[in-house]
Structure 1
């Protein structure tokens, strides 16, 4: 089948990188349209041999882009249109139905208790999302937590399919050479203990808690390495200085060599206030390092002693980090993560969903929600 993925943008982010991983493993022919901002991930996807087009939006309300996308879908003869992220869902689902696409699927990557992809859940946001859902055959929720939030928000449970994000274990495997290189690049001694955080630097990630928790723990042999960039960077740098820890709190900026950065860590801390999945936690575990997290829906029901949930306050987090530093547990494999979240199996479930929905459209009814767990 021919599948068109429509995504809001392709700057580096969890949903964007997850799309790339799915495209690398799908059995269907696929193209991508970015509504705007075809950033670094667009280049990565193109380097994999997948066609990426930029719709060139410059603001949220450009009705002309709806018709441009409709014409693009119609001209491409796509069997399936799969939308990702809010703006792409609003425009893409409507355009797909207008173009006569057989199957329309959405993936909900990031719905919180109060925000949808950093948008506050106003009546207008909700109305647009649920209104355009009428044009969709199914929505993939990346966790049971997301599925519950969608139902609470007003989406019919029968239209929801729970398929988790997948982890490309090869992409995040431990690399001893990369570990040494990254540490040398940032002036970190080979034998230092490195606590790492990774993600977009915004308020929801609460990296300020980790800086506060680490302020009295960092030194010549203990470092905090912050990987990512965003609007919160300036505030975090000031915070590190105010705590007298700036010398040992290292800002690496945005990086694409995820395996290398994880390999440089000895402990990963995920401090988000809200998460819909927690892909970075799984990637850290796949790299072999222990994890402390405040919330991670992906680990619900997964038995592991390599990851522990911790309170979301700096004092308690500091005690937990200190205990991990003292234990210095080293690296170990986590088979439970491999069994539950391998990218190959996850992509196969998405590919199979397309087929089931197309068969249902053709008159052979199939239960949409058969992939729930």
Structure 2
């Protein structure tokens, strides 16, 4: 595994036996980064280099300069600054690099369509492998105990979200929607951190929600946070595929999500949750109220969502997809 720094929140989750090669000072956003990566790849001699998203695009060039037999490029979501993927320059660079990529892998059919129809990558080079969720770690549990941990009364109706606090996630819109739906004895939980936190703190004060909103910050106990909820909400204006939605479904929660990106491939409207237009807090407020007022419907949608997560988005299914992908390319061009 080649990383920019070798540190960060995922460093402690790398399995034993996996070698990590931090680029350190050698990783700089300049035209020579591909050359530096080529030097590393010549030393490592991999059969496959798998790059991910725009920030690793120069590794495609580095891998080919080093003579790596196969290069797989993954698209896991568009950039936060360009949620609809309309940046012409980045489209052109992806298209120019396409001949050097053995196969493109997306985590949603929406991203696959974008690559084919807008970026104009040949369809034969694009496949989709959905992200998987650990349905043992993310599962329904003791809701009352989870609420005690978070300081929320057991008999309140609780909505929540998990994710980076960023304008593309539109948590400000979620706060405005919750302010409309809040009739007392309701709570909103927001787990995560990011650049939009100051704006959210201001909005909580201005909307008079100090007693009912919990800004939890970054958490390492997300399964517990989800067990405290009655309904999960994702208010993003753009998504690739949402791991947070998958985790909420596995946790047995109904999901209210904006109908953008891969969200529509996860949430079955009216069966496992509710899809709404983005940037429409009044519609989000109506969806929240509908679940708050009908706990039986919320429970039924949550149960259906968990079944769907286990049957269609389990970790084993995702792993099988990548094992087959890598195996095919190793067979085609492995080093002697």
1:68 partnered with 2:36 = yes
Q: Is the 8 A contact 1:213 1:318 kept in 2?
A: yes
Q: Is the 8 A contact 2:239 2:263 kept in 1?
A: no
Alignment match, 2:308: 336
Q: Deviations over 1:119-143 (max 9, x none)?
A: x743432333333333210010111
Could you tell me which of 52, 65, 70 is aligned with 2:20?
A: 52
Q: Is the 8 A contact 1:93 1:133 kept in 2?
A: no
Q: Is the 8 A contact 1:106 1:136 kept in 2?
A: yes
Question: Aligned residues, how many?
Answer: 325
C-alpha distance in 2, partners of 1:302/1:239?
28
Q: Deviations over 1:253-288 (max 9, x none)?
A: 011222111112111011111112222112111100
Name the CA shift for 1:180/1:302 in 2 (closer, same or farther; >3 Å): closer
Q: Deviations over 1:86-126 (max 9, x none)?
A: 121x221111111221211011001379826x9x7434323
Alignment match, 1:42: 11
Q: Deviations over 1:292-341 (max 9, x none)?
A: 11125254387571211123311121111011011123352532222221
Alignment match, 2:238: 274
For residue 193 of structure 2, give the secondary structure of its aligned residue in structure 1.
coil
TM-score by length of 2: 0.87
Alignment match, 2:103: 138
Alignment match, 1:108: 75
Q: Is the 8 A contact 1:113 1:149 kept in 2?
A: no
* 1:350 CA drift (Å): 1.1
Q: Deviations over 1:163-187 (max 9, x none)?
A: 11111212322332xx555533432
C-alpha distance in 1, partners of 2:205/2:290?
25
Alignment match, 1:200: 164
Equivalent residues in 2 for 1:1-373, closer than 5 Å = 32-36=1-5, 38-45=7-14, 48-56=16-24, 61-88=29-56, 90-111=57-78, 115=82, 121-151=86-116, 152-176=118-142, 179-180=143-144, 182-218=146-182, 221-295=185-259, 297-300=262-265, 303=268, 305-312=271-278, 313-328=280-295, 329-330=298-299, 332=303, 334-361=306-333
Q: Is the 8 A contact 2:254 2:273 kept in 1?
A: yes
C-alpha distance in 2, partners of 1:153/1:58?
30
Deviates more, 1:257-266 or 1:61-70: 61-70
Gaps of 5+ in 1: 1-31, 363-373
C-alpha distance in 2, partners of 1:52/1:59?
14
C-alpha distance in 2, partners of 1:270/1:358?
38
Q: Deviations over 1:48-87 (max 9, x none)?
A: 5422222125875334443332222222221111111212
Q: Deviations over 1:192-234 (max 9, x none)?
A: 2210011111111111111111114446621100011111111
Q: Deviations over 1:141-167 (max 9, x none)?
A: 111110110112121111101111111
For residue 360 of structure 1, give the secondary structure of its aligned residue in structure 2.
helix
TM-score by length of 1: 0.79
C-alpha distance in 1, partners of 2:323/2:219?
30
Gaps of 5+ in 2: none
C-alpha distance in 2, partners of 1:310/1:163?
25
For residue 237 of structure 1, give the secondary structure of its aligned residue in structure 2.
helix
C-alpha distance in 1, partners of 2:312/2:230?
24
**Aligned Cα RMSD in Å?**
2.6
Name the CA shift for 1:301/1:44 in 2 (closer, same or farther; >3 Å): closer
